[in-house]
Amino acid sequence: MAKIILSCAITGSIHTPSMSPHLPVTPDQIVDQSIGAAEAGAAILHLHARDPRTGKPSAKPDDFMAFLPRIKTECDAIINLSTGGSAVMPLHERIAGPMAAEPEMCSLNMGTMNFALYPMLGRRTEWLHDWEEPFLRNSDDLVFKNTPRDIDGVLRLMGTERGARFEFECYDLGHLYMLAHFRDRGLATGPLFIQFVMGVLGGVAAEPEHLVHLKTTADRLFGADYLFSTLAAGRQQMPMALISASLGGHVRVGLEDNLYLSKGVLAQSNAAQVQHLRRLLEGLGHILATPAEARAMLGLKGPDKVAF
């Protein structure tokens, strides 16, 4: 069995501070939880930034630089920066931090879509910050814009000009065909690292049959020139990770996509989710890739060539 690359997405831009006291938002919290996740076995840290005072998603270079050098000094995990930022930000704002940091890896969202978060409003009436409730409520009219022009721009600015390689975030079948289009144009080059993103309201649901169909379609489009990983938002996070591994794929967990460890039990940290999944995977005979092994598998430029 090939070794498994475990990614951990530390904080993201979906959840808000009122939803869990364990969601890291300050630089110290993001550093501590990133190191913890790396020590627990994460080869890749998928990172977004937040405004440390309000916990609101941010993609400002200063907010990234408040934690990136510290994480790099304290662990050898691959640092993968989001260019998705938050779906409410325009693209130029979303890529400001990644452009300044020139990471080994960054995310790239492969299509425009709805990104409906309002079901998470639930019955909650108390909020720590003013921005949280309207952010969730207005997501019933939110378009996460990733047009071919946007994708082209990120591929050139981050890939061609800065040497980053990509976590191609594919939320639906059509996103695979968009990726094949950019492969055919020579802008997306192998080995492609595809993240199947399941369970976002607006993308494909987290159901095993869908994952099998996404994988067989990717096999047809990309042959041996790709690797896949799977993330499921919400409660399907761990079951879908195990199915992904069983199909020969890689896995992603983290509080960005799921705040829980099991039904009704909040994860105390990102490391807790990594440890949980690691135990399950090792129980099935899988072995996790080290950061060095993951760098070789993904063809990364190396941590000495970043700007932080």
Chain positions contacting ligand KMH, by CB under 6 A: 9, 12, 14, 82-84, 107, 109, 169, 197, 200, 233, 256-257
Least distance to Zn ion, CB of residue 231, Å? 9
Q: Interface with Zn ion includes 229 (CB under 5 A)? A: no
Sole window of 12-20, 183-191, 208-216, 292-300 interacting with Zn ion (rule: CB under 5 A): 12-20
Q: Pick between residue 46 and residue 286 the one whose CB is nearest to ligand KMH.
A: 46
Site string for Zn ion, 61-90 (x = CB under 5 A): ---------------------x--------
- Closest to 298 measured CA to CA, from 153, 110, 157, 163: 163
Least distance to ligand KMH, CB of residue 14, Å? 6
Q: What is the 3-state secondary structure (H, E, C) of 205-271?
A: CCCHHHHHHHHHHHHHHHCCCEEEEEEECHHHHHHHHHHHHHCCCEEEECCCCCCEEECCEECCCHH
- H-state helical runs in the chain: 27-40, 61-65, 68-74, 91-94, 96-101, 132-137, 148-154, 173-184, 208-222, 237-246, 270-283, 291-298
Least distance to ligand KMH, CB of residue 210, Å? 15
The helix (H) or strand (E) run that includes residue 108 is strand 105-109
Q: Interface with Zn ion includes 146 (CB under 5 A)? A: no
Please identify the residue of the shown chain whose CB is closest to the bound ligand KMH.
Answer: 84
In the list Zn ion, ligand KMH, none, the entry touching 14 (Cβ below 5 to 8 angstroms by class) is ligand KMH
Binding site for Zn ion (CB under 5 A): 12, 82
